[in-house]
Chain A
Amino acid sequence: MKLKKNIAVSETGFLFDPNSGESFSVNETGKKILTFLEEGKNENEISKWFADNYEVDNATFENNFNDFLTVLQNFRIVE
């Protein structure tokens, strides 16, 4: 899963899709995930990074992560 090329993510976590004109805001965690997706990291690499750096177990993170990815897909932010 990759972030669409033309999606701009600002340092504050503000996203703008120039194709649809839609804009979104994400929190620090969301921004980190988007940055990883932008860098081309896969889902496993992202999960591992969060498990290593945050006090969260794999199952809890992956549940929330998958929900977030579904939202990104629904809003056509990723491809």
Chain B
Amino acid sequence: MKPKYTIAVTGLNNTDNPGPGVPVIRALREAKDFDVRIIGLAYENLEPGIYMKNITDKVYQIPYPSVGSDELMQRIEYINEKENIDVLIPNFDAELFTFMKSKEKLLKIGIHTFLPTIEQFEERHKSELMKFGKKYGVDIPFSKSISNLSEIKNIQYEFEYPVLVKGKFYDAYLAYNPAQVTEFFNKISAKWGVPVIIQEFIRGTEVNVIALGDGKGNTIGAVPMRKQYITDKGKAWGGITLGDENLLEITKKLIKKTKWRGGMELEIIKTHTDKYYIIEINPRIPAWVYLAVGAGQNIPEALVKLTLGETVEPFKSYDIGKMFIRYSYDLIGDISQFEKLSITGEL
């Protein structure tokens, strides 16, 4: 008989800028070695994953980490008293720090996590990426953090236009002149604060790799993908798995050197001369994880096993040429569901 685990998952916002929660849950429901009871943790009461059939067994609203980590932890403790959570899989960059910091506290109440260490999380920040590249011997585009508008006039001395203007957590815009940099600086800093990162624009094809590290330097799973259809928010609406061995080598080398713990996504630009530049490292499972599952690597299942201390054999292969195509679909809900979640914080 298979064991049954209670797993709490965030990121139920299956919108045009989707969180990874729903595909992670789909993967867990298809796990071969265990059954699951899924507790959805939602920040907003209109996150589609709350209302989708056969996704969550129960949903709780939780406060944003920006409200305070104590409030968030108190809510998790309350939910745990009712649900007895075995594993928690956070899926947002912005909440990871709080959960990493509370790792021991969570473990004391029986909730297991498998997250990067604070050091791993900090050193791959966009503003630190150049240092990261030097430390681990990977190519990173030249970049610089700026914190005020007066620094924009100096960009022309260090960069060639166009340049990428990036927020520390999200958002990236291509700017062709100082006026555009100013516009994007204001837009990004108002939303995400400073610093804003100016990054050399590398021409080429963007490719992504989803990977899972066991924290000891081993790559448990890795699947590369190229976006085939991109939304105006830059998100993949369709993608295909690739057979590029170089991408797998870069990933394995990085996980070996950093001893990466948990899920990750590498965003890489492959130039026409076959050079590979890492432009971002996301410290969590990406929203396109279900493509990896479809290609033969159930990365969320392996993550849960690692979380619970099981030995996991690395995946040996995946199918090349597997595609995913997102779609939008109108769910019909009822005001009573919305009412229940809004008033009681549970559904």
Contacts and interface: CB of A to CB of B under 8 A. Distances in A.
Question: Do these two chains really belong together in a complex?
Answer: yes
A4 to B, nearest CB: 12
Interface stretch (A13-21, A25-33, A63-71): A13-21
B112 to A, nearest CB: 36
A6 interface: yes
Contacts of B225: 21
Contact of A18 (B205, B207, B228, B320): B320
Q: How many of chain B's residues touch chain A, expressed as a range?
A: 10 to 19
A23 to B, nearest CB: 8
Interface stretch (B150-158, B238-246, B255-263): B238-246
Interface in A21-44: 21
Q: Is the interface of A mostly helix, strand, loop or mixed?
A: loop
Nearest to A21: B226
A21 B228 CA distance: 8
B244 A19 contact: yes
Contacts of B207: 21
B321 A19 contact: no
A20 B207 CA distance: 9
A3 B228 CA distance: 24
Contacts of B243: 6, 18-19
A20 B321 contact: no
Contacts of B244: 18-20
A16 to B, nearest CB: 6
A19 B320 CA distance: 9
Contacts of A18: 242-244, 320-321
Contacts of B228: 21
5 contacts: A19-B244, A20-B205, A20-B226, A21-B226, A21-B241
